[in-house]
Amino acid sequence: MKAFMLRAVLQQAALAVVVCGIGGGVARAQAPAERADLERLRDSLGTATDSVSLKRLEAATIEVAKRDRDNPLIHLRLGFVAYRLGEVAKSKPHYDDAAGEFEWASDLKPDWPYPWYGLGLAELAQGENSAIAIENLRQQLGLDYLTKAARASSRGSRSRCSRSGSPRRRRRG
């Protein structure tokens, strides 16, 4: 029960990040119309309980993806369809397929939020460690330690440059 509640909280938090753009404009990288289309698809899939019709939709979308392999929206659609198939059939291989499609979309558009959201959902459904999902969410928000360190280093470099006008060069003597 505790794991189920944690999963539900993580899903809601990740969705808030994607939809609301929490964390420095994460959701602004995708066009609003594209986000709306994905949300409608995800919502419509949430009511689907027939695995046969979901498999037909998946097959038709795969045919489209074969002709347009570099379209991240198609891979996101395939990811959400595979994820729903995993829910309906209670089948881990479908979650694996979903994770693969979300990862493909994230490779094509790393600044889009939905591939990362979907990948987190798929990893949770696959039984991945909740700590990994939380760390991925922190990374998307820019709250992980490496991002914080990079920002601090950048601020330090900028302040050194602004004090001296330019970075100092060492003279060879």
pLDDT band, residue 25 (cuts 50/70/90): very low
Question: What mean pLDDT, rounded, does the chain reach?
Answer: 76
What proportion of the chain, given as a percentage, has pLDDT over 70? 57
In a domain, 146, yes or no: no
Whether residue 33 lies inside any domain: the answer is: no
| Percent share of the chain, pLDDT over 90 | 31
Domain contains 73: yes
- Residues 115-139: b if buried by 16+ CB within 10 A, e if exposed: bbbbbbbbbbbeeeeeeebeebbee
pLDDT digits (tens, 9 = 90+) for 129-162: 666 667 766 776 667 666 666 667 666 666 555 5
What domain range includes position 120? 1-14+48-141
Among the listed residues 111, 91, 106, the one whose alpha carbon sits nearest the alpha carbon of residue 26: 111
Neighbouring residues of 150: CB distance < 8 A, sequence distance ≥ 6: none
Dist CA 124 CA 33 (whole Å): 27
When divided into structural domains, the chain yields a total of: 1
Q: Across residues 52-75, what is the average pLDDT?
A: 94
Q: Is residue 69 part of a domain?
A: yes
Cα torsion 147, 36, 107, 140 to 10°: value is: 10
Is 42 among the domain residues?
no
Reply yes or no on whether the pLDDT at 101 is more than 90: yes
Please report whether residue 164 resides in a domain.
Answer: no
Does the pTM of the predicted model rise above 0.95? Answer: no
CATH number of domain containing 87: 1.25.40.10
Give per-residue pLDDT as tens, 65-82.
999 999 999 999 999 999
Q: What is the pLDDT of residue 84?
A: 95
Residue 147 falls within a domain, yes or no?
A: no
Evaluate whether residue 113 is within a structural domain. yes
Helix H or strand E segment including 75: helix 72-89
Mean pLDDT, residues 113-138: 78
Number of neighbours of residue 19 by Cβ within 10 angstroms:
15
User: Residue 22 — pLDDT band, cuts 50, 70, 90?
Assistant: very low
